[in-house]
């Protein structure tokens, strides 16, 4: 592959890796190129992003490369993070929220086993929007964080309690997770308040 294609693939890989990031060695194994060439591509991408005034940057944390937003733009990101309208939630976040609502308390690994993909970014989005929260630690190796829904979640959807969630059996079969998530939120739409109504 040529160098521009390599950079394009690396950008996509970093996007998919999310907050966990990837080392140059991991990327090299995936793209089947030398780590030195991957490092050169990453350094050039850093310069490209700055020169093109992109809204993201490549940062290196503990040996791993990851995509990050610019700190100068933080005030705008905070407005998004603390304005939890459903329209600002991705399909990944909606699926994660539905899983937490029906399976809580639940760990990130358990969520990812159900969804089949990494969910760290979706979880962080929901925590920032005060729709889910840490509820404790699981009695397992590493004591992973357990997540559950918040009072704001109940208020937002006009639910008196979790028992009022529609069709609790909806998520027993996760083969059609996207379709079932859509069905759930369509049912909840009728009860949904605006955030101006939430005390």
| Angstrom distance (rounded) from CA 109 to CA 115 | 10
Q: Which domain holds residue 36?
A: 3-69
Q: Round to the nearest angstrom and report the end-to-end CA distance of the chain.
A: 56
Range of lowest pLDDT (7-16, 24-33, 113-122): 113-122
Q: Is the pLDDT of residue 193 over 50?
A: no
**pLDDT on residue 149:** 94
Q: Is the pLDDT of residue 123 over 80?
A: yes
Question: In 32-90, where does DSSP find H-type helix?
Answer: 35-51, 74-81
Residue 40 lies in a domain: yes
* Total count of domains within the chain: 2
Q: Do 173 and 130 lie in a common domain?
A: yes
Same domain, 100 and 121: yes
Show the tokens assigned to 135. Answer: 């509820």
- What pLDDT is recorded for position 98? 87
CATH number at residue 161: 1.10.10.10
43 and 119 fall within a common domain? no
145-149 β-sheet, strand order = 106-107, 145-149, 132-137
Predicted confidence at residue 35, as pLDDT, reads 94
16 and 109 housed in the same domain: no
Above pLDDT 70, what percent of the chain? Answer: 78
Q: State residue 5's pLDDT score.
A: 96
Mean pLDDT of the chain: 82
How do residues 46-102 score in pLDDT, each as one tens digit? 999 999 999 999 999 888 999 998 888 888 776 665 555 545 677 888 889 988 988
Whole-number pLDDT of residue 176: 62
Taking alpha carbons only, the member of 88, 122, 100, 149 closest to residue 19 is: 122
Same domain membership, residue 58 and residue 84: no
Residues 6+ apart with CB under 8 A from 22: 13, 14, 64, 65, 66
Q: Does 197 fall in a domain?
A: no
pLDDT higher than threshold 50 for residue 4: yes
Q: Is residue 15 part of a domain?
A: yes
Q: Do 9 and 89 lie in a common domain?
A: no
Segment 7-15 shows an average pLDDT of: 95
Task: Indicate whether 157 and 178 sit together in one domain.
Answer: yes
153 occurs within a structural domain: yes
Determine, yes or no, domain membership for 194: no
Same domain for 158 and 91: yes
In this structure, is residue 175 part of a structural domain? yes
Three-class SS of residue 134? strand
56 and 82 fall within a common domain: no
Residues constituting the chain: 199
The confidence score (pLDDT) of residue 194 equals: 40
Please write the tens of the pLDDT for every residue from 153-169: 888 777 888 888 876 55
CB 88 within 8 Å of CB 187:
no
Percent pLDDT > 90 in the chain is 43
Show which of 69, 86, 112 is a domain's final residue.
69
Q: Could you tell me if residue 65 is inside a domain? A: yes
């Amino acid at each position: 592959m040529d160098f521009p294609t390599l950079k394009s693939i690396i950008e996509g890989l970093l996007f998919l890796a999310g907050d966990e990031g990837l080392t140059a060695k991991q990327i090299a194994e995936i793209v089947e190129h030398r780590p030195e060439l991957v490092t050169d591509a990453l350094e050039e991408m850093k310069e490209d992003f700055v020169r093109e005034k992109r809204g993201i940057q490549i940062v290196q944390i503990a040996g791993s490369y990851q995509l990050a937003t610019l700190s100068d733009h933080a005030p705008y990101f905070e407005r998004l993070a603390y304005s939890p309208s459903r329209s600002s939630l991705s399909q990944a976040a909606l699926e994660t929220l539905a899983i937490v609502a029906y399976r809580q308390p639940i760990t990130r690994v358990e969520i990812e086993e159900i969804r089949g993909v990494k969910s760290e970014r979706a979880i962080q989005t929901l925590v920032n929007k005060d729709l889910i929260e840490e509820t404790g630690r699981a009695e397992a190796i590493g004591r992973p964080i357990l997540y559950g829904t918040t009072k704001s979640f109940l208020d937002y959807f006009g639910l008196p309690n979790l028992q009022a969630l529609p069709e609790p059996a909806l998520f027993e079969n996760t083969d059609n997770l996207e379709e079932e998530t859509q069905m759930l939120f369509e049912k909840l739409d009728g009860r949904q308040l605006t955030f101006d109504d939430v005390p």
